[in-house]
Amino acid sequence: MLVASGLVKHYGGVTALDGVGITLDAGEVHALVGENGAGKSTLVKIISGVVRPEGGAIELDGEPVRFAGARQAAAQGVAIVSQELMTYDDLTVLENLFPYGAPRRRGLVSTREMRRLAAPVLEELGIDPPLHARAGELPLADRQLLEICRALLLEPRVLILDEPTSALPREAAARLAGVTWRLAERGLAVLYISHFLEEVMRIATRVTVLRDGRVVLPGAGAADVSLDSLVTAMLGQPAAHGAGPAAAPGGRSGTEPAAAPPGRRSPSPASRSPAGCGTSR
């Protein structure tokens, strides 16, 4: 569905991406992992139109595309939920769901229409927010889910979730995992960026690993990759005990899978995780 190839980007004298490519297929959850500074954020910003690459190409359904901004990318079906919280805390929950172009009736924004459009997405996420409350009054985790709602309302074909669970408690992350699978089953291509390798192993269909601005593991089937080999690909060497790359700062603890999709393997990360590798959350 989306094919990016040969992407190059420098920031000053630093090479952020050096000929990176990635292929996202409909119906898959494609994880993108790498250490901090590996180029993950730059790659997703390029794919979502926020940053323009210096070289390379992006094709959407076989057609070359060049996004002038996030809004144009969204209009063509590529939506991103950013790592940074992008809610408008002074606006109502409902207004936050339609920041680009709220539905109108006789030229005025229609609250009723917004409710009607939002209802199925809220239903799908399994949440019931106070729609007229200011978004800033919601807890952090809820605001993150609000952003995911907003992205889904754009009816994307490619959905980029950049560290979507970093602020979520375990039950919310589990719910999000279920939603992610359902979206993929619906035919969306989901690019899932996370520091939490066990989460990646649970959720992803395929995994791409970046290291120092290059792809070191291109779209490997998640079932064919062990946690150890993933860590090795990220670091360029086997993980040393107690110095893992994916240590979660605070957040949830525990290693059991939140929920496994029907028909998918349900790994036991606790038994597979290299001891002290910091992949638990």
Kindly state the tokens that stand for 58.
């992006």
CB of 133 vs another protein, minimal distance in Å = 5
Terminal C-alpha separation, the chain: 32
Please work out, in degrees rounded to the nearest 5, the angle formed at the alpha carbon of residue 84 by the alpha carbons of 12 and 27. 100
Residues with Cβ within 8 Å of 139's Cβ and at least 6 positions away in sequence, in order, are: none
Residue 108 binds to another protein (criterion: CB under 8 A): yes
Residue 70 binds to another protein (criterion: CB under 8 A): yes
Kindly state the tokens that stand for 211.
């290291």
Identify which of residues 171 and 226 has a Cβ nearer to another protein in the complex.
171
CA distance 94 to 96: 5
Residue 128 binds to another protein (criterion: CB under 8 A): yes
Residue 115 binds to another protein (criterion: CB under 8 A): no
CB of 100 vs another protein, minimal distance in Å = 7
Identify which of residues 169 and 187 has a Cβ nearer to another protein in the complex.
169
Residue 185 binds to another protein (criterion: CB under 8 A): no
- Diameter over CA atoms, the chain: 64
Out of 171, 221, 242, 266, name the contact with another protein by CB under 8 A. Answer: 171
* Amino acid, single-letter form, for residue 24: L
| 3 state SS of 116 | helix
Out of 182, 186, 241, 265, name the contact with another protein by CB under 8 A. Answer: 182
Out of 8, 26, 57, 91, name the contact with another protein by CB under 8 A. Answer: 91
Strand partners, 60: 2, 63
- Point out which span in 9-17, 101-109, 157-165, 194-202 binds another protein (CB under 8 A): 101-109
Exposure string (b/e) for 55-73, b if CB count within 10 Å is 16 or more? ebebebeeeebebeebeeb
Residue 5 binds to another protein (criterion: CB under 8 A): no
Question: Cβ distance 238 to 232 under 8 Å?
Answer: yes
Residue 127 binds to another protein (criterion: CB under 8 A): yes
Identify which of residues 27 and 276 has a Cβ nearer to another protein in the complex.
27
Identify which of residues 132 and 241 has a Cβ nearer to another protein in the complex.
132
Kindly state the tokens that stand for 59.
């094709």
Task: Number of residues interacting with another protein: please give it, by CB under 8 A.
Answer: 55
- Reference 212, options 55, 54, 51, 37; nearest CA is 37
Residue 178 binds to another protein (criterion: CB under 8 A): yes
- Positions 18 through 37 that interact with another protein (CB under 8 A): none
CA distance 73 to 69: 6
Residue 86 binds to another protein (criterion: CB under 8 A): yes
Residue 95 binds to another protein (criterion: CB under 8 A): yes
Out of 31, 38, 58, 145, name the contact with another protein by CB under 8 A. Answer: 145
| Sign of torsion over alpha carbons 92, 93, 98, 99 | positive
* Residues found near another protein in the complex (CB under 8 A): 49-50, 69-72, 74, 82, 84-91, 93, 95, 99-102, 104, 107-109, 122-123, 126-134, 137-139, 141-143, 145-146, 170-172, 174-175, 177-179, 182, 259
